[in-house]
Amino acid sequence: MTQNVYQHQDSKGREENANRARMLISCPDRPGIVAAVSQFLYEKGANILQSDQYTTDPASGMFFMRIAFDLGNLEQNLPALQEDFARIADRFEMRWSVYRAVRRKRLAIFVSREDHCLLELLWQWQAGDLDAEISMVVSNHDDMRGLVESFGIPFHHIPVTPETKAEAERRQLELTAGKVDLVILARYMQIITPKFIEHFTNRIINIHHSFLPAFVGGKPYHQAYDRGVKLIGATAHYVTAELDAGPIIEQDVQRVSHRNNVDELKRMGRHIERIVLARAVKWHIEDRLVVYQNKTVAFI
Amino acid sequence: MTQNVYQHQDSKGREENANRARMLISCPDRPGIVAAVSQFLYEKGANILQSDQYTTDPASGMFFMRIAFDLGNLEQNLPALQEDFARIADRFEMRWSVYRAVRRKRLAIFVSREDHCLLELLWQWQAGDLDAEISMVVSNHDDMRGLVESFGIPFHHIPVTPETKAEAERRQLELTAGKVDLVILARYMQIITPKFIEHFTNRIINIHHSFLPAFVGGKPYHQAYDRGVKLIGATAHYVTAELDAGPIIEQDVQRVSHRNNVDELKRMGRHIERIVLARAVKWHIEDRLVVYQNKTVAFI
Amino acid sequence: MTQNVYQHQDSKGREENANRARMLISCPDRPGIVAAVSQFLYEKGANILQSDQYTTDPASGMFFMRIAFDLGNLEQNLPALQEDFARIADRFEMRWSVYRAVRRKRLAIFVSREDHCLLELLWQWQAGDLDAEISMVVSNHDDMRGLVESFGIPFHHIPVTPETKAEAERRQLELTAGKVDLVILARYMQIITPKFIEHFTNRIINIHHSFLPAFVGGKPYHQAYDRGVKLIGATAHYVTAELDAGPIIEQDVQRVSHRNNVDELKRMGRHIERIVLARAVKWHIEDRLVVYQNKTVAFI
Amino acid sequence: MTQNVYQHQDSKGREENANRARMLISCPDRPGIVAAVSQFLYEKGANILQSDQYTTDPASGMFFMRIAFDLGNLEQNLPALQEDFARIADRFEMRWSVYRAVRRKRLAIFVSREDHCLLELLWQWQAGDLDAEISMVVSNHDDMRGLVESFGIPFHHIPVTPETKAEAERRQLELTAGKVDLVILARYMQIITPKFIEHFTNRIINIHHSFLPAFVGGKPYHQAYDRGVKLIGATAHYVTAELDAGPIIEQDVQRVSHRNNVDELKRMGRHIERIVLARAVKWHIEDRLVVYQNKTVAFI
């Protein structure tokens, strides 16, 4: 067992969060939603700290809302509040959730042999910048056991071969289903099956490189080099059954030039990938994301 | 008289705006504000299209809100709505305003000899990207008369010398006070007096170059060159009595290198200035900015 | 005839340029090229101001070089210099060109109904930021005649219909072949034929929007909106026979959010297009671009 | 002793580097420099891989050059090459250096209690992205011993108090003088004395936060928050006797909004600091930087 060399720091202001909740709502837009929700929270004694909303189309669109509020004795009072809110939710045909800020999301990070995305998440986590619990790291290789355990995080080596694929998935589900809140594919180079996705709808985040234009086929960095692209990008998205086509959460790019060879493009790609993935994870664990159809409403 | 060679395009969706209003509110934060405002608007039959809010500090801070809403027969119904809202405003000690989207802000652009900021505003305006009325351009030089008049906009040449400064200001106020809603200093190289500022509190936008670090004294581009800065920036801010120290509205930067000589730094500076100023103006005319103490809350 | 309301400013430092030349070289890499070229120029009495080079692969790659130099009485002495340089060029199997900086490139701007790219070029040109001659604007619509002529630039209306396409191209070639150095497609919404491209190999620059990921099929901005992209981009490239697949010159992006509707995405797209196109044109007219295979070496 | 949990990866292509050298030159500009240098290298059998140059002013300015070349049996042949080059250097009054790429720079990282800059360097190093040797980490606190030793790097705890300051500096110099090539102040919160700087002229890199505008006095993040700045930046520079006023190497910024409180601004500041510092270090160890007067010529 490796010694834990990192001193994990709690996120700033966790004690403030004891009575804090975040509510995410989506429903067909019509007059009176904001009034009903805010009046309800006011009568319950909640103090709204932040409220964001968005309407796709005022005429006949969808309405989305995120409310952060403080409520005295939240732990005791939340169940009753939720029960009472159901009436409003029914009236407006809402899909909704409430999350207690103090209840950290449990993360499982899946990784293969590239460590840059994993390391960024571990570092931000130990610095107190990711207010979550990293429950485990799962990998189809054993390479990163020492690193992960040096952070005091459980590491599970689940090899994947064509023969063991079904068994591997069974073990992954056994470890995660009902036990983690978010699965992060931090350069995990195995296909996730529809069955696994089903257990984590809109709760699996993937990262991949992106280019303008996109390059079809293999070796995209070589293609990008051959075409002389000037920007290397990365996209974080929720995983759906269609490969790399799920709702986009975040994107960013870095400038490159003809002087950068394929290895350098890859290095820059790694850099932008870790930044973009960490942002997407942060937004998810702070309950800032609502998925609607194939896009993400990000209250940031 | 110059011929008008530009065909001004109306902004997209102006007809949708006939019944649209935007309300800006600031007041000490306490529970119930959102509920009271949204309930009020709901009872009046208003449909909230967008609502943004921000609290400096949930405990004892200031609360800011921007609401865009549609109300049937807005022109007829707004006065009564405003009268009734006064009760809520009193209760929460609000500073507030309501603007009809269809009522374009009237702009006066002040300019000296550099035309880049003026041109960007004129072109965005004629393209329908700035939903405002450009009432006049005022300059201490006559150089840009032909250009301005080619857009069909009145041009006023008001020379400024030490002797005529007071008289020039009198004429500027005569032209603008009560007649324009926003004064834009688009590289106007004269000091604005406290008296003029008083007539346009938080309604004068200035643009100036910015560097990291800031350079004290004259010839800032030369100093930036000598220090080898890697970023050239611009800051748009509201004008206050203290020179260049008013609330910041927007900032941006452009990357430069040691290869760029002073003239090129200036050229890049001009480019970033026009972009930043146009963004700040756009946000102001869409009622997205609230000034509090020495900062700007920008609901963008 | 419209009055010219713009006062075109000459680029800064044109008088310095009287004896300035720029040489672009590409050849198979091998030892001694830089020594041979710089020794040659030294013996001719030239003063090298800037020299950039790039090698795709030191082992067996291609070598590219851009040299800016001053030579006394350049106009008289350049022909002899070129003649003598041929020996070196032969020895290293070079493709090469020398351009006199004082000899402005002649531009033809092709445009349809969207004016944003045209306007940016006209503005940068009249501000002295594009050191070129705008010989003409060609359009398949007559809308922009007044605007173009207000800059004192000839405007040619050449309508294009399926029936007149061949005749239109004949007139375009008549106007431009041998008479302009660079054709800029500033949102020109007609297909350029291989025959026209042949007359202007690596001398036609096009601009188009770009997304991460790329969207196949029509209405890309609608698709980008539906997928919730976070970045809107533009790509400037040289035109080749394969549509929108020529060597990339420059790319850039602007951040967007779910709050931006399709019209706003288009507006932002227009903004980034004009910036990117103007940069590409500036680099071309300053002889900073070398095309090799399907990529562009940009000495910037 | 902590177990080493990281597997340090060698930089890509180190074996290619065995015969690679980089030459940095600065001298008064005059005709013939490039010819003389490139002819010299050609005659020595060197193959120039990359050559960059820059002239502050063709008339009477300074000339800077960076040449990367391969030379067979570099280790054996370099001393003779240097000896012979001295004639050319004398003729043009050059300041110059030659570095063998295979000879990694030895780094000493100085750190206090904030670990973000240190961690970024350690991780880029272990990923093979920083081609250097991290000889030691020196800190005035013992907090990071475990972390540093987990990378297999020596850690020296040298406390600094007003009483021990002189003795601390003596120990620092004892550890570093003549033994490391570059000192990196990775958020080291102690003043470096002129005596220490003298031992490492243009070989100490510092990182600090930057704002537009700069804020004089204490608590800059609070001031930035109060003014509502829209960009948070960082500057990496060489350390000179004048505090934070040395030649700038690299700068970058990140966008912020009024919603970000002081703690978040600090978090974002940390993020941009680590990126900017790592870039500056990378350029230094690749011999891409030349200091002239108070600016840095960066051949990147």
- For the beta carbon of residue B257, count every other beta carbon within 10 angstroms: 15
- Cβ of C39 within 8 Å of Cβ of D39? The answer is yes
Query: A221: which chain D residues are within 8 Å (Cβ-Cβ)?
Result: none
Distance CA B135, CA A58 (A): 32
- Cβ of C123 within 8 Å of Cβ of B123? The answer is yes
What per-residue confidence (pLDDT) applies to D14?
Answer: 62
**Amino acid at the residue B88:** I
Distance CA A34, CA A41 (A): 11
Residues in chain A, pLDDT under 50: 1-2
Which residues, including other chains, have CB under 8 Å from residue A101's CB and lie 6 or more apart? A17, A20, A21, A22, A68, A131
Average pLDDT over residues B257-263: 91
Which subunits sit against D, judged by 3+ Cβ pairs under 8 A?
A, B, C
What per-residue confidence (pLDDT) applies to D13?
Answer: 58
What per-residue confidence (pLDDT) applies to C58?
Answer: 73
| Residue-averaged pLDDT of chain D | 92
Local confidence band at B171 (pLDDT 50, 70, 90 cut-offs)? very high
Query: D270: which chain A residues are within 8 Å (Cβ-Cβ)?
Result: 127
Which residues, including other chains, have CB under 8 Å from residue A288's CB and lie 6 or more apart? A66, A298, A299, A300
B193: DSSP letter: P
Distance CA A267, CA A247 (A): 26
Give CA separation, B176 vs B143, B180, B187, in Å: 21, 5, 18
Q: Are D147 and D175 in contact (CB under 8 A)?
A: no
Distance CA D177, CA D175 (A): 6
Q: Are D276 and D235 in contact (CB under 8 A)?
A: yes
Show the DSSP H helices in B106-181 as ranges: 116-126, 145-150, 165-176
Distance CA A20, CA C123 (A): 53
Q: Which of C3, C52, C187, C256 to mutate to test the interface with B (most CBs of B within 10 A)?
A: C3
- Residue A277: phi, psi to the nearest 5? -65, -45
Residues in chain C, pLDDT under 70: 1-15
Is the pLDDT reported for residue D130 higher than 60? yes
Distance CA D261, CA A257 (A): 36
ipTM strictly over 0.85?
A: yes
Distance CA A112, CA A187 (A): 6
Per-domain residue ranges for chain B? 15-100, 105-298
Q: Are B100 and B72 in contact (CB under 8 A)?
A: no
Distance CA D294, CA D296 (A): 7
What per-residue confidence (pLDDT) applies to C1?
Answer: 40
The more confident residue out of B170 and B5 is B170
What per-residue confidence (pLDDT) applies to A5?
Answer: 65
What per-residue confidence (pLDDT) applies to A50?
Answer: 86
Local confidence band at D218 (pLDDT 50, 70, 90 cut-offs)? confident
Decide if C293 touches A, using CB distance below 8 A: yes
Decide if D23 touches B, using CB distance below 8 A: no
- Cβ of D2 within 8 Å of Cβ of A6? The answer is no
Q: Are B258 and D53 in contact (CB under 8 A)?
A: no
Indicate if C263 belongs to the active site.
Answer: no
Asked whether the bond before B247 is cis by omega within 30 degrees of 0, the reply is no
Q: Which two tokens stand for residue C124?
A: 């940068």
Active-site position among A129, A244, A252, A287:
A244
B145 to chain C, closest Cα gap in Å = 9
Q: Is B278 exposed, middle or buried (0-12, 13-18, 19+ CB in 10 A)?
A: buried
pLDDT in tens, D150-183: 999 999 999 999 999 999 999 999 999 999 999 9
| Torsion on CA atoms C27, C28, C32, C35, rounded to nearest 10 | 20
Active-site position among B84, B142, B226, B244:
B244
For chains A and C, count residue pairs whose Cβ atoms are closer than 8 Å: 87
Q: Residue D200 is inside which H or E element, if any?
A: none
Q: How far apart are the first and last CA of chain A?
A: 40
- Cβ of A233 within 8 Å of Cβ of C228? The answer is no
Query: C42: which chain D residues are within 8 Å (Cβ-Cβ)?
Result: 31-32, 34-35
Local confidence band at B49 (pLDDT 50, 70, 90 cut-offs)? confident
Distance CA D67, CA B90 (A): 73
In CATH, what is the architecture of D105-298? 3-Layer(aba) Sandwich (3.40)
Nearest CB to B231 within list D214, D253, D257: D253
Q: How far apart are the first and last CA of chain D?
A: 40
Active-site position among C84, C142, C226, C244:
C244
- Residue B122: phi, psi to the nearest 5? -65, -45
Decide if D201 touches C, using CB distance below 8 A: no
In CATH, what is the architecture of A15-100? 2-Layer Sandwich (3.30)
Query: C258: which chain A residues are within 8 Å (Cβ-Cβ)?
Result: 54, 295-298
What per-residue confidence (pLDDT) applies to B11?
Answer: 62
Three-state DSSP state, C132:
strand
Q: Are D261 and B192 in contact (CB under 8 A)?
A: no
Is the pLDDT reported for residue D1 higher than 50? no
Q: Are A35 and B42 in contact (CB under 8 A)?
A: yes
Do β-strands A204-211 and A182-185 pair in parallel, antiparallel, or remain unpaired? parallel
Give CA separation, B266 vs B262, C271, D231, in Å: 6, 21, 21
What per-residue confidence (pLDDT) applies to B9?
Answer: 67
Sign of torsion over alpha carbons B174, B177, B179, B180: positive
Query: D12: which chain A residues are within 8 Å (Cβ-Cβ)?
Result: 263
- Residue D152: phi, psi to the nearest 5? 75, 25
- Cβ of A149 within 8 Å of Cβ of D5? The answer is yes
Nearest CB to A258 within list C227, C231, C298: C298
Query: D53: which chain C residues are within 8 Å (Cβ-Cβ)?
Result: 48, 50-51
Q: Which two tokens stand for residue A249?
A: 């959460």
- Cβ of D51 within 8 Å of Cβ of C46? The answer is no
Strand partners, A234: A209, A252
Which residues, including other chains, have CB under 8 Å from residue C108's CB and lie 6 or more apart? C135, C136, C137, C138, C175, C176, C180, C182, C183, C184
Q: Which residue has the tokens 């994870």?
A: A281
Is the pLDDT reported for residue B1 higher than 50? no
D279 to chain A, closest Cα gap in Å = 12
- Cβ of D50 within 8 Å of Cβ of C55? The answer is yes
Query: In the sheet where C132-139 sits, what is the strand order?
Result: C155-157, C132-139, C105-111, C182-185, C204-211, C231-238, C248-255
- Cβ of B150 within 8 Å of Cβ of C149? The answer is no
B10: DSSP letter: P
Decide if C51 touches D, using CB distance below 8 A: yes
Three-state DSSP state, B62:
strand
Query: D115: which chain A residues are within 8 Å (Cβ-Cβ)?
Result: 127
Distance CA D30, CA D27 (A): 9
Distance CA A280, CA C141 (A): 46
